[in-house]
Amino acid sequence: MQVTRQGNRYLLYKESSLIGQAELDGDRITLFTVHTQWRGRGYGSYLLREMLRMNDGFARQISSRFVAPAPENDAAMALLQKFGFSPTGAPDGSWQRVHAPDLSAVELCHRFLESTIPTGGSFLDATCGNGHDTLFLCRKASPNGRVLAMDIQPAAVEATNRLLAEHGLQGVGRAIVCNHRDLGHLIPPGTLDGVMFNFGWLPGADHAVHSAAESTLPALQAALDALKPGGVLAAVLYSGKVIGDGEKQAALEFFRSLPLTKYTVLVCEFANWAPTAPLPCFVLKRPFHTGL
């Protein structure tokens, strides 16, 4: 059983036979059908789940909304309820599924950047991981901007490029294998509108492989050099039993040492979270040097 995506159409195959399909027009499900002989066997659930998944419907840190037409029968209603749909109250009888992400450190970075970096800009994801920050930046950059993503682990780069392809954004961004400390060799000074760092380890991978201060500090400096005046750097710092707090403390010392005449630095602590909670930080590069 497999679902493939062709533009806004989702095709459900059992072996080589097409047994169902769905269409998504923006946030609206305009077609959803499973061939009669395959109904009542879980194939409709699989098709709907995969369509939602391919459009970030289950992403914890991404907002999503999907609208379905009024269910035709009890089975269709049960399927929608299973995946969190409820009536909109609209005259057409439509149902909707709305997901609002938790305000995690990463989500806070996304919300802050959404309001501060320009649409269609040039961005860098310096620690792309599984690609969700890269995807966010590509959506912000599309259609005329560009995004470069990098990670030292090939598995992360492959996952990121695959995610961008699934969303049709491979023409806007791409990921490469590169240590973020070397980003200055790839990006000329003063050319980026925004940079993201999400330090720590690759989710789902070996926690013993993680970023460290000896590469993080040169990377942060290179990223600030690469920013245009008015550009923004966002970084999430981590600490804990596995990685200690050496990188976190070194990065905080670096941020606090930046001259006020050139940068504004925000460290956004979640006051009622544990001391080891992820720590979002922002550096705004001043648009001009005041000389003060």
Based on the domain organization, do 249 and 141 belong to the same domain?
yes
* pTM of the predicted protein model: 0.67
Report the domain count for the chain: 2
| pLDDT band at 192; cut points 50, 70, 90 | very high
pLDDT digits (tens, 9 = 90+) for 279-291: 999 999 998 654 4
Based on the domain organization, do 151 and 25 belong to the same domain?
no
Based on the domain organization, do 31 and 112 belong to the same domain?
no
pLDDT score of 193: 98
C-alpha 232/C-alpha 280 separation (Å) is 13
Instruction: Find the range with the poorest average confidence among 10-24, 32-46, 76-90, 232-246.
Output: 232-246
Based on the domain organization, do 181 and 54 belong to the same domain?
no
Higher pLDDT, 123 or 239: 123
| pLDDT band at 81; cut points 50, 70, 90 | very high
Nearest-10 Cα torsion for 133, 135, 136, 137? 90
pLDDT higher than 50, residue 79: yes
Would 231 be classed as within a structural domain? yes
Would 292 be classed as within a structural domain? no
C-alpha 80/C-alpha 85 separation (Å) is 5
Based on the domain organization, do 142 and 280 belong to the same domain?
yes
| pLDDT band at 163; cut points 50, 70, 90 | very high
Residues 6+ apart with CB under 8 A from 24: 8, 10, 30, 51, 55, 66
- The domain in which residue 42 lies consists of 2-99
